[in-house]
Amino acid sequence: MIVLIDQNYETNIAVNNYCRKNNIKFIGTDVYGPWTRLFNDFGQKFEVIDKNGEDPQEVMISKISCEEKGIVTLLQGAKHTFEDGEKVVFKGVDGMELINGKEGESING
């Protein structure tokens, strides 16, 4: 990976073209007082799976049932925006250490 900072436009284009030809990831960035610019090119095979650009969502869980496909219950009043088929990652689940850091399918409903 190549990262350029505070380079002119022509240099950024030239280095990015070189990186693209050689399958090297490229990031170019500048800071102009309170404004910034960021460009990245991770190649033609780079796949973006983030469907909406929003930050990952954290939701507090009150319990998870012990079935093979456990039922996840949120704290009372907690809401989520997950949709069927999305992936979720569990972290900090007390009493269920084997689930921590594991990725699984989202709950339905």
What does the pLDDT look like over 71-91, one tens digit per residue? 888 888 888 888 777 778 887
**pTM score:** 0.48
The pLDDT, as a whole number, for residue 4 is 94
Hey, what are 17's tokens? Answer: 């073209």
Neighbouring-strand partners of residue 105? 87
The pLDDT, as a whole number, for residue 109 is 44
The pLDDT, as a whole number, for residue 88 is 80
Of 51, 53, 71, 46, nearest to 61 by C-alpha is 71
pLDDT tens-digit map of 38-68: 999 998 888 777 777 777 788 888 888 888 7
pLDDT tens-digit map of 4-36: 998 999 999 999 999 999 999 999 999 888 999
Under DSSP, is residue 96 helix (H, G, I), strand (E, B) or coil?
Answer: coil
- Sort strands 26-32 and 2-5 into parallel, antiparallel or unpaired: parallel
